[in-house]
């Protein structure tokens, strides 16, 4: 279960990206998340995926 609050979601996703996944595609596929919904939710708090850092910044 992933957090619904955007700030908690940011922390959860960045931790998963840092510790378990080499890219956002792998995370979304493994956790069965819609990439667009995820990025839209995090963009609502002004965070965008940086593929070079593999984090939302």
Domain annotation covers residue 41: yes
Rounded mean pLDDT of 42-49?
98
In sequence order, what are the residues at sequence separation of 6 or more whose Cβ sits closer than 8 angstroms to the Cβ of residue 9?
2, 3, 38, 41, 42
d(CA 23, CA 52): 9
pLDDT tens, 2-34?
A: 999 999 999 999 999 999 999 999 999 999 999
Can you give the residue range of the structural domain that contains 51? 6-56
DSSP label of 22: S
Domain annotation covers residue 32: yes
Domain annotation covers residue 47: yes
Place of tokens 């840092």: 18
Other C-beta atoms closer than 10 Å to the C-beta of 38 total: 19
Whether 53 shows a pLDDT value over 90: the answer reads yes
Give the pLDDT band (50/70/90) at residue 1: confident
pLDDT at residue 38, rounded to an integer: 98
Domain annotation covers residue 1: no
Number of structural domains the chain divides into:
1
């Amino acid at each position: 279960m992933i957090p619904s609050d955007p700030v908690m979601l940011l922390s959860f996703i960045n931790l998963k990206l840092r510790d378990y996944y080499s890219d956002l595609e792998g995370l979304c596929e493994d956790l069965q998340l819609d990439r667009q919904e995820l990025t839209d939710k995090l963009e609502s708090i002004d965070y965008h995926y940086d593929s070079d850092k593999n984090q939302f910044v």
